[in-house]
Amino acid sequence: MRKFHYIIPLFIIMYLFAVAGYAEENNSPDVHKETEPAQIRDVIQFFDDVQDDAELQTTDANLPTEYEKRKIALLPFDNVSNNIAALDIIMPLLAGQLEKRGLEILHYEKVESFLCERRIRQASYISREVAQELGTTRSVNTIMAGAVLTFVSDGNPKIGIMARLIDIPTGLIVWSDYVSLTGEDFTKVLGLGTIKSVDKLIPEAINSLFSSLDNVSSDTTGEKTYKIAVLPFKNESGYRHAGMIINYLFQHELSNNLMFKPVDFGDVRKIMIDLRVGHKGEVDYVNLKSLSRALGVDVVLTGTVEEYVIGRDDSSPPRVTISARLLDSQRSRIIWFDHHQLAGDQHIIALDWGRLRSADKVADTLIAGLVENMETEGMPLYRARLSPADNIADATVSGLIQDVDAEILPQ
């Protein structure tokens, strides 16, 4: 592109000298006066046309993707951290970063106003019905929702954020990512590099969170096989928001697994309210079938958060314990069950390498393993339409599944 900017003036100057010389040589002062404007205009027009063609080719080569052309409604994120001021700090930065990336957004304040007009109190997740009305009235076709999982400003600052893009026509999650950072994650040799201020940590977290947005695909059909709903997890941990944190992280991990298409929690919550289904892991088979039919899902995931320990320092690391169950609602069967515990210092290699310093990071690491086990161990049973008791040799595990079946899913 720049080479034309140098060639055009140079060519014009050379041509002016040539025309002036020709006029002087022929002793005809009118030659310069009459010939110069028309011919120079032709030359300039020629190079303008060439330059326009070059710019057109460059523009065509960098056309925005279908995703980038979309207008995104930014919902107010759910705050499940222990800091009530977290959203006031993070939401403007999220909006600014999206606009900086060239995306057109409907700001969260306007979305909140739209929801208030319809007396919808929970703005962090909405049903597809409400989303479609928002899309029609505000000319948007994608929603960005998410949650602030961790926000610690004192001591070792910690930030945990999960975000997802939801396609309004289908109600499916087309992108999901999650970031968890602490100030000590940046510590290098001799203790250098540590981030001690949460204000400096937040931009690092948001940049990392949105780094994968360039890889978003607008294709909601994909190669995924099974549609899944994640019900609210029963929280027995003593930490107030542990159930929702686990729910969000399961949605994130399932969204990035090629086998599953998770239904957004906004739709799950609406159907549960419509059917008057109990929350927190308690549902019977009759309601389970109705819920699955209404959501159009193949399987349902639920479970219990038994421990969610924040941890204070290296001597008291974060710790999470989860039990999870995958249900075939149409056949009234638990097709997979697993129970795991993970602590932040469990996978240290050397010199603190491998240490997990926040509870949400411990939970996400644990959940990633559970989803992998669910894919390799649970789904083959679903495909084969077999009872777990016929396929699990360990009598203790089989008995545990039956106990959970009787307690959580009474027929």
Q: DSSP secondary-structure letter at 155?
A: S
Q: Can you tell me which residue has the tokens 């002087």?
A: 24
DSSP structure string for 325-378: EEEETTTTEEEEEEEEEEETTTT--STTTT---SHHHHHHHHHHHHHHHIIIII
Model pLDDT, residue 374: 94
Number of residues written out for the chain = 411
Residue 223 pLDDT level (bands cut at 50, 70, 90): low
Strand stretches in 224-280, DSSP E: 226-230, 234-235, 260-262
Among candidate residues 366, 360, 298, 294, the one with its CA nearest the CA of residue 335: 298
- Quote the pTM value: 0.75
Mean pLDDT of the chain: 77
Mean pLDDT over 146-165 rounds to: 94
CA distances from 45 to 6, 8, 32 (A): 16, 10, 19
| Alpha carbon distance 31, 130 (integer Å) | 74
> Which is higher by pLDDT, 275 or 224?
275
d(CA 312, CA 152): 11
pLDDT tens for 28-66 read 444 333 334 444 444 344 434 434 444 433 333 333 344
Q: How far apart are CA 54 and CA 122, in angstroms?
A: 50
Q: Residue range 358-376: average pLDDT? A: 95
- pLDDT tens digits for 56-107? 333 333 333 444 457 899 999 999 998 999 999 999 999 999 999 888 999 9
Q: Using pLDDT thresholds of 50, 70 and 90, give the confidence band for residue 206.
A: very high
Tell me how far apart the alpha carbons of residues 51 and 5 are, in angstroms, rounded to a whole number: 9
Q: pLDDT by residue (tens digit) across 240-253?
A: 999 999 999 999 99
Q: Residue ranges of the alpha helices (H) in 26-127? A: 29-61, 86-100, 108-117
pLDDT higher for 149 or 380? Answer: 149
Q: How many helices and strands, by DSSP H and E, does the chain display?
A: 12, 12
Whole-number pLDDT of residue 314: 61
Choose the weakest-confidence range: 176-190, 227-241, 276-290. Answer: 276-290
Return the closest-CA partner of residue 338 out of 299, 301, 297, 380. Answer: 301
Answer yes or no: are the C-beta atoms of 105 and 74 closer than 8 Å: yes
Rounded Cα distance between 88 and 95, Å, is 12
Q: Could you give the CA distance from residue 386 to residue 383 in angstroms, rounded to a whole number?
A: 8
Mean pLDDT of the region 213-234: 75
Rounded CA-CA distance 313/315 in Å is: 5
Cβ-Cβ contacts under 8 Å for 94 (sequence gap 6 or more): 74, 77, 163, 206
Specify the pLDDT at position 35: 39
pLDDT in tens, 121-145: 777 788 888 999 999 999 999 999 9
Averaged pLDDT for residues 259-270:
90
Find residue 158's DSSP bridge partners: 152, 182
The predicted structure's pLDDT at residue 225: 81
